[in-house]
């Protein structure tokens, strides 16, 4: 919502525009917050935090507190001016009620009063209200503490004064997302902290505190960076060796819709890769846009001009230098504030405002030239690195030429190991990257030849974090990959040439498999990020178990699925009785057993955290996810006529164990050690058949973190890598793409 104009100091309730009602949001939540899964769930928090950040940017707020409460709700508290509580003249309601129940209420969106921060969807706190089972808002303003409460967007307790607060001011919003709308059930501290940290970098001096009261760990973190995006660059480069200090340039220019501000921090490191993170109005612009092109243009022309004028770059060399060369080893954060941002591109994360390119380019160009003139030693290092990169690229040209997709039409230049599909429509075509020749062979024989191509990968894939482009391109596995995918590489990159829109990594579920998977993901992330951004990259999910009973074979994906399976089988010719001794029907018995299995696993989890489940259940004050899960489960248990004493007395555990043991009867359970153990039919049936398979799409949800983690996983620093791998058991799902 646009609160910026209020900073002009003449806010009154009339300014609030009434655009739309609440029901629309509940009817089509995804339209307003993107989705109703994990992303949308966390997006609710960002919407509320954005309002506090706006208060901070207007100069009225210094600290924002975000707390995950014990009951699973979340509070965002700030020390800003407080949402106005006076009467809205036309709506005949307090302004705060209008702000929280009317979409887009809060200010006009004309150029002079633009919203500075704002989530991807920028829909405002009223949306969060509509999508919350309940919301409570407390405002400190004018010496009084005011409170109002809502449920699913409707007032349940009108605004009232509940106390005095002296000259304290601020807003505190507490909400519990509506679980009939969201599939996500809890806030993830890691996900929240990543965005809060990013916001603290982008808004220097603002203190953002995070507290988790829900889990037993009681995590607490404070993010405050007086160095702003300079500190952001240092954070991103934490696992790399710097070649230059952090350079910072900023300025503003009048644009057609108001003042455009631009801020850039950059540093060169000895890495061979480039990190460019760009933002507009605190929103990450994954697809780049005019601010990025303006920045790049300034960098290229300044390096060229300074290098030539100072005889560091010879004429012949200048012709050979490309923009990519000048960005090798560069880490840059570009942040602009634009009054009326236009977001374009596939995911609406590409800044489109044309004038921004020239503005950023002129600010950076001017100041970078001055910096080089005042720091010739740094300029020299940057230019030397650039020339080295260019030479390496030149040396790799031969390799690159042969890697290019020149004769793809006749299939001649495709790698020999590739078993291509016959279909030529990329949208229907899939490329399987398979670990090892033996699994590759099964995949090749078992696949659907029309749509599925197989590329077996032998041995380890090159670690692109540690190799310059010439070595990357000389590597056979990588060359096969590039040719097979068809988009080219580096300056030649062209996503529209992708030969497949699904690239599926299929590796064993062991340490080697994880390693190969990580190397491949690093390659895609560093060298072909657009594949990940577009959602073309997948991880195959081969089954963990093969279960055979009376000659019938079934495949099971996970340990939890195996438990479920055993219970269903166990109930076959097995009678479960309720407390009165009457037999339950199959369906009811099945639900009952699943519930018992849940109680068993929750109890185990609670015990692992050092609690006694029995005590926790009996304690009405007990909060936290474990306690609330137990309470829910035991209240379900009552529905079957049983109480806690039946579980804690061991009686129901015995039934559960019996059914499980019965389920195992006459059953052979085999745990796969690798893909190679499956024959071609088996591999197709379980892992490749589009009608039955499970796959994970690789997402790039937090690029900053992903980049740091990749540097950590793939860089030279051994100790942090060892720790990370140990802590995360090399499971890519923990990398949170
Ligand atoms: C409307 C007008 C003013 C402030 C706010 C809204 C406001 C909203 C939120 C939401 C979370 N924290 C907030 N802080 C402030 C300006 C009021 C004035 O002029 O005094």
- The residues, ordered by sequence, that sit 6+ positions from 167 with a Cβ below 8 Å of its Cβ are 143
Active site (annotated) includes residue 420 = no
pLDDT exceeds cutoff 80 at 720:
no
The distance from CA 12 to its chain's CA centroid, rounded to whole angstroms, is 38
Mean pLDDT, to the nearest integer, of 519-531? 87
Q: Is 175 left (phi over 0), alpha (psi -120 to 50) or beta?
A: beta
Q: Which of 1, 4, 5, 6 to mutate to test the pocket of ligand 1 (most atoms within 8 A of CB)?
A: 6
| pLDDT at residue 110 in the model | 32
Dump pLDDT digits (tens) for 463-479.
887 788 888 888 888 88
Dump pLDDT digits (tens) for 486-505.
998 877 889 999 999 999 99
Catalytic residue among 435, 470, 477, 685: 435
Count of Cβ atoms closer than 10 Å to residue 632 Cβ? 12
> Is the CB–ligand 1 distance for residue 78 below 6 Å?
yes
pLDDT exceeds cutoff 80 at 377:
yes
Q: Is 567 helix (H, G, I), strand (E, B) or coil?
A: helix
Dump pLDDT digits (tens) for 197-233.
999 999 999 999 999 998 777 789 999 999 999 999 9
Which of 101-110, 330-339, 571-580, 585-594 is the least confident region? Answer: 101-110
- Between 240 and 234, the higher pLDDT residue: 234
Strand partners, 252: 261
Dump pLDDT digits (tens) for 580-612.
888 999 889 999 999 999 899 889 888 877 889
Q: Count CA atoms closer than 13 A to 314's CA, side-chain side.
A: 3
Dump pLDDT digits (tens) for 147-177.
999 999 999 999 999 999 999 999 999 999 9
Enter the tokens of residue 88. Answer: 């809205």
- The residues, ordered by sequence, that sit 6+ positions from 649 with a Cβ below 8 Å of its Cβ are none
CA distance 19 to 101: 11
Atom of ligand 1 nearest to the CA of 84: 17
pLDDT exceeds cutoff 50 at 186:
yes
> Is the CB–ligand 1 distance for residue 83 below 6 Å?
yes
Atom 16 of ligand 1: nearest residue by CA position = 6
The verdict on pTM exceeding 0.85 is: no
What's the gap in Å between 82 CA and the centre of ligand 1?
5
> Is the CB–ligand 1 distance for residue 55 below 6 Å?
yes
pLDDT exceeds cutoff 80 at 447:
yes
Strand partners, 93: 88
Catalytic residue among 149, 221, 366, 512: 512
CA distance 476 to 478: 5
Dump pLDDT digits (tens) for 187-200.
999 889 999 999 99
Please state, rounded to an integer, the average pLDDT across all residues of the chain.
86
What string of H, E and C letters represents the secondary structure of 575-641? CCECCCCCECCHHHHHHHHHHHHHHHHHHHHHHHCCCCHHHHHHCCCCCCHHHHHHHHHHHHHHCCC
| pLDDT at residue 109 in the model | 33
What's the gap in Å between 142 CA and the centre of ligand 1?
13
Domains of the chain: 23-223 (3.30.565.10), 229-395 (3.30.230.10), 399-542 (3.40.50.670), 551-671 (no CATH)
Enter the tokens of residue 478. Answer: 């990588």
Atom of ligand 1 nearest to the CA of 76: 11
Q: Tell me the pLDDT band of 277, cut-offs 50, 70 and 90.
A: very high
| pLDDT at residue 47 in the model | 93
Active site (annotated) includes residue 512 = yes
| pLDDT at residue 715 in the model | 63
What's the gap in Å between 209 CA and the centre of ligand 1?
20
Active site (annotated) includes residue 71 = no
Dump pLDDT digits (tens) for 665-719.
888 999 988 898 899 999 999 999 999 998 888 876 555 566 677 777 666 655 6
């Amino acid at each position: 919502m646009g609160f910026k104009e209020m900073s002009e100091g003449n806010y009154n309730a009339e300014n609030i525009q009434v655009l739309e009602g609440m029901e629309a949001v509940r009817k089509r939540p995804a339209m307003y917050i993107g989705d109703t899964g994990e992303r949308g769930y966390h997006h609710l928090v960002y919407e509320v935090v954005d309002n506090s950040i706006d208060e901070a940017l207007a100069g009225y707020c210094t600290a924002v507190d975000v707390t995950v409460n014990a009951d699973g709700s979340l509070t965002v508290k700030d020390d800003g001016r407080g949402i106005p509580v006076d009467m809205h003249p036309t709506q005949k309601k307090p302004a705060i009620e209008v702000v929280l129940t009317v979409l887009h209420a809060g200010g006009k969106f004309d150029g002079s009063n633009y919203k500075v921060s704002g989530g991807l969807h920028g829909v405002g706190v009223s949306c969060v209200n509509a999508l919350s089972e309940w919301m409570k808002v407390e405002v400190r303003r004018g010496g009084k503490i005011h409170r109002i409460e809502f449920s699913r967007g409707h007032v349940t307790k009108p605004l009232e004064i509940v106390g005095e607060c002296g000259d304290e001011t601020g807003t505190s919003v507490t909400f519990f997302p509506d679980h009939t709308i969201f599939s996500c059930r809890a806030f993830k501290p890691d996900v929240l902290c990543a965005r809060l940290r990013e916001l603290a970098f982008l808004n220097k001096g603002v203190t953002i505190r995070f507290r988790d009261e829900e889990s037993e760990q009681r995590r607490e973190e404070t993010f405050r960076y007086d160095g702003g995006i300079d500190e952001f660059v240092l954070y991103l480069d934490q696992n790399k060796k710097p070649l230059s200090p952090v350079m910072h340039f900023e300025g503003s220019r009048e644009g057609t819709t108001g003042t455009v501000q631009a801020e850039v921090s950059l540093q060169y490191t000895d890495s061979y890769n480039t990190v460019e993170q760009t933002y507009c109005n605190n929103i990450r612009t994954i697809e780049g846009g005019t601010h990025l092109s303006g920045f790049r243009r300034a960098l290229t022309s300044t390096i060229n001009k300074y290098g030539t004028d100072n005889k560091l770059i010879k004429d012949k060399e200048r012709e050979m230098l490309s923009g990519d060369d000048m960005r090798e080893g560069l880490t840059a954060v570009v942040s602009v504030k634009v009054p009326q941002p236009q977001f374009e591109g596939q995911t609406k994360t590409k800044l489109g405002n044309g004038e921004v390119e020239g503005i950023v380019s002129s600010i950076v160009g001017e100041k970078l030239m001055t910096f080089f003139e005042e720091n010739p030693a740094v300029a020299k290092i940057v230019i030397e690195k650039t020339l080295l990169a260019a030479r390496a690229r030149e040396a790799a040209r031969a390799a690159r030429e042969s890697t290019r997709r020149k004769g793809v039409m006749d299939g001649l230049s495709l790698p020999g190991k590739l078993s291509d599909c016959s279909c030529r429509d990329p949208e229907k075509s899939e490329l399987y990257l398979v670990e090892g020749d033996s699994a590759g062979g099964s995949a090749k024989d078992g696949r659907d030849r029309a749509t599925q191509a197989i590329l077996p990968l032998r041995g380890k894939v090159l670690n692109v974090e540690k190799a310059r482009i010439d070595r990357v391109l000389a590597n056979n596995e990588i060359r096969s990959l590039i040719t097979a995918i068809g988009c080219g590489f580096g300056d030649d990159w062209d996503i529209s040439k992708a030969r497949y829109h699904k690239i599926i990594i299929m590796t064993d579920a062991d340490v080697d498999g994880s390693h190969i998977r990580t190397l491949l993901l690093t390659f895609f992330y560093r060298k072909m990020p657009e594949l990940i951004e577009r959602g073309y990259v997948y991880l195959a999910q081969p089954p963990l178990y093969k279960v055979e009973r009376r000659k019938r074979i079934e495949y099971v994906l996970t340990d939890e699925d195996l438990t479920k399976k055993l219970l269903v089988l166990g109930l076959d010719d097995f009678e479960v009785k309720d407390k009165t001794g009457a037999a339950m029907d199959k369906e009811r018995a099945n639900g009952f057993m699943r519930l018992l299995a849940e109680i068993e696993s929750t109890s185990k989890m609670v015990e692992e955290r050092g609690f006694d489940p029995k005590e926790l259940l009996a304690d009405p004050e007990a909060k936290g996810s474990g306690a609330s899960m137990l309470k829910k489960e035991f209240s379900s248990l009552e529905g079957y006529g049983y109480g806690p004493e039946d579980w804690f007395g061991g009686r129901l555990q015995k039934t559960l164990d019996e059914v499980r043991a019965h389920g195992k009867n006459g059953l052979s359970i085999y745990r796969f050690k690798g893909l190679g153990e499956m024959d071609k039919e088996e591999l197709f049936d379980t892992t490749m058949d589009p009608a039955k398979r499970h796959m994970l799409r690789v997402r790039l949800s937090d690029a900053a973190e992903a980049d740091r983690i990749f540097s950590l996983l793939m860089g030279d620093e051994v100790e942090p890598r060892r720790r990370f791998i140990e802590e995360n058991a090399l499971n890519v799902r923990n990398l949170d793409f």
